[in-house]
Amino acid sequence: MPEALVRGVRINYEVIGDHGPWIALTPGSRRSFGELTDLSKAIAASGYRVLLHDRRNCGASDVAFDGSGSEHEVWADDLYALGKELGALPMYVGGSSAGARLAILYALRHADGLRGLVLWRVTGKLIVSVEARPGGRSAMLHSCLPASSGTAEPMASSARLSVAVPWASVAVSSAR
C-alpha cells in the first residue's frame, strides 16, 4: 500500500479507480480502511476515484499524538492535507460512525476542499441536517453538539456552511 507523509505522520492509503470525481471514505471506530474496499470498488466502477486511508493511530498508519484539537479534528486536517497532496480536492467526504464525524468536521473546517458529504451510521450525540436550497445544488449544513445542560446548541463560529451535495435534501439526526 502507498504511504504519504502527512503533517509529519506516515499515513497508509489506497486509491481505487483511476478517473472521475474523488470520494474519500472512512470507516467507524479505529478500524482499518479494508472493510470499505468492496464498497469502494463498486463506487469506482460507477466512475469515481475513491480514497481510503488509515487515520493516524489506526490501521497501518503511524501512532502520533497532536494536541492541536480533538482527534476527529486532527483526522479531518490530515485528510485535507492528504487530499491536497494527491490532487484530489475538492472531494466528496464520507464515512460511518467515527468516519461520519470526521466528514462533518472536514466540512466545517475545510469547505474549500469539499464537494459534498456521504454519511451513514451517524453515531454519538451529534445532530446534523443538510437542507437543499431552492433552485440549486447548494445546501446548508447545520451541526449541533450537546451542551453541558444536555440541550443541543450550535457549534461555535461555523454552525452553518454551504456545501454542494449530490442529492436534493437529506436530514440526519442521531441524538440519543
CATH of domain 3-173: 3.40.50.1820
Whole-structure pTM value: 0.71
DSSP assigned state of 54: P
| Confidence (pLDDT) at 71 | 83
| Confidence (pLDDT) at 62 | 67
- Please provide the DSSP assignment of 94-151 as one string: EEETHHHHHHHHHHHH-GGGEEEEEEES--SS-EEEEEEPTTSSEEEEEEEEE-TTSS
| Confidence (pLDDT) at 133 | 44
Per run of 10 residues, the mean pLDDT along the chain (length 176 residues) is 88 95 90 86 94 89 82 91 97 92 93 92 58 42 37 35 36 35
CA-based nearest residue to 102, from 121, 87, 130: 121
| Confidence (pLDDT) at 89 | 97
- The verdict on whether omega for the bond into residue 90 sits within 30 degrees of 0, i.e. cis, is yes
| Confidence (pLDDT) at 171 | 38
Hey, which residues does 143 pair with through a beta bridge?
Answer: 128
Indicate the domain borders of the chain: 3-173
Give the CB-side neighbour count of residue 134, counting CA atoms within 13 A.
Answer: 0
| Confidence (pLDDT) at 34 | 80
CA-based nearest residue to 9, from 40, 47, 55: 55
